[in-house]
Amino acid sequence: MNGNVIDGKAVAAKIREETAAKVAELKAKYGKVPGLAVVIVGERKDSQTYVRMKKKACEEVGIASFGADLPESATQAEVLAVVAAFNANPDVHGILVQLPLPKHIDEQAVLGAISVEKDVDGFHPLNIGRLAMKGREPLFTPCTPLGCMVLLERCGIPIKGRRAVVVGRSNIVGMPAALLLNKRDATVTVVHSATPKAEAEAICRQADIIIAAAGQAQLVRGSWVKPGAAIIDVGTNPIDDKTKASGYRLVGDAHFDECKAVAGAITPVPGGVGPMTIAILLRNTAESGERFLTGAVKVSGAEKKQERKGLAKLLPTREQLASPLPVLAAAVGVAAGAVLQRATAGRR
């Protein structure tokens, strides 16, 4: 930290360094490295930029990079076929589908088709379901929310027993962040677009930790912040700025200057959460590669066999079948991921 400003770049650099060391260790021991496949559909410039950044990041830590660049006109069947091919490729240990997808493609169907053992983005319903369950852990956790937790932990900011408020309820950040905070024994409240603004402000003022992920520029003001609170700002919003050559600058969902004057710790935008997202993606991929290379996950030539193995991990054991309650809990967990994704799709 620099004063009360959290240096996300420094933390992300450390994670990349750790990941590069893990990849080198796997290569020395098994003669192979983890592989990440990125699927992009369409020609959105922002998506193409993100994909290039991910490929470059893979190269820097020694992860093998695979890709499929499909046109905007690609059918859902074509996208699913590409995902199936990567599911069956033994050199690919992580699959990421760049969002958003074109409107004619069912995003949930595509994300659900990714093998749960290769879901390094953490959005498969089975991974989200396990994240929602007490006493269970997902194979992978969504990268940005996990990055938020890592920033808190590596900066020595306590979570257990603290009041935490998540501003926003998106599938990508808000909801998983709330689940992660709950798993770390915080008392969690979610405020969102249907929460009256005055009420949202009052709730935030009670928080020891605020995760700002509403997608609204400078929503969280200094008056919303309890003195000494930690603010993790996930927002990246362009606002007009004639002093910049581009004509704009990026700001977060929290008003940085106002909140910095009150908070005990705060992430800047840019340079806070952003670098963590790719760093966690690389770490997830390295961990997945390690599972495959050590035999913790058995490689199957067929996607359906892989999916059955992934599902089997979430179903009750023979011993659990003796009691109806664990069976019910397992069934609820499997369903929870899909319900959370569909119920909150597109909402903040």
Q: pLDDT (tens digit, 9 = 90+) per residue, 277-290?
A: 999 999 999 999 99
* Catalytic one of 22, 118, 119, 121: 121
98 is a catalytic site residue? yes
Query: Any idea what DSSP says for residue 97?
Result: E
CATH of 143-274, picked from 3.40.50.300, 3.40.50.720, 3.30.930.10, 3.90.700.10, is 3.40.50.720
Q: pLDDT (tens digit, 9 = 90+) per residue, 7-43?
A: 999 999 999 999 999 999 999 999 999 999 999 999 8
- State the alpha helices, DSSP H only, in the chain: 8-30, 45-61, 76-88, 107-113, 125-132, 143-154, 174-183, 197-204, 256-260, 274-293, 303-312, 324-343
Domain spans, the chain = 143-274
What is residue 87's predicted lDDT score, i.e. its pLDDT? 97
Q: Are 289 and 58 in contact (CB under 8 A)?
A: no
Count of CB atoms situated within 10 Å of the CB of 145:
29
* Catalytic one of 22, 98, 306, 341: 98
Beta bridge partners of 65: 36
* Mean pLDDT to the nearest integer, 204-229: 98
Beta bridge partners of 137: none
Distance of CA 50 to the CA centre of its chain: 15
* Torsion sign across C-alpha atoms 100, 167, 186, 1: positive
pLDDT grade for 299, boundaries at 50, 70 and 90:
low
Amino acid at 286: A
* Catalytic one of 54, 118, 183, 260: 54
Largest interatomic CA distance in the chain = 69
Question: What is the torsion angle, in degrees rounded to the nearest 10, for the CA atoms of residue 230, residue 146, residue 185 and residue 311?
Answer: 170
pLDDT grade for 300, boundaries at 50, 70 and 90:
low
* pLDDT surpasses 80 at 339: no
Upper half-sphere CA count for residue 35 (Cβ side, 13 Å)? 15
Distance CA 333, CA 46 (A): 34
Q: What is the pTM of this model?
A: 0.84
54 is a catalytic site residue? yes
Average pLDDT, the chain: 89
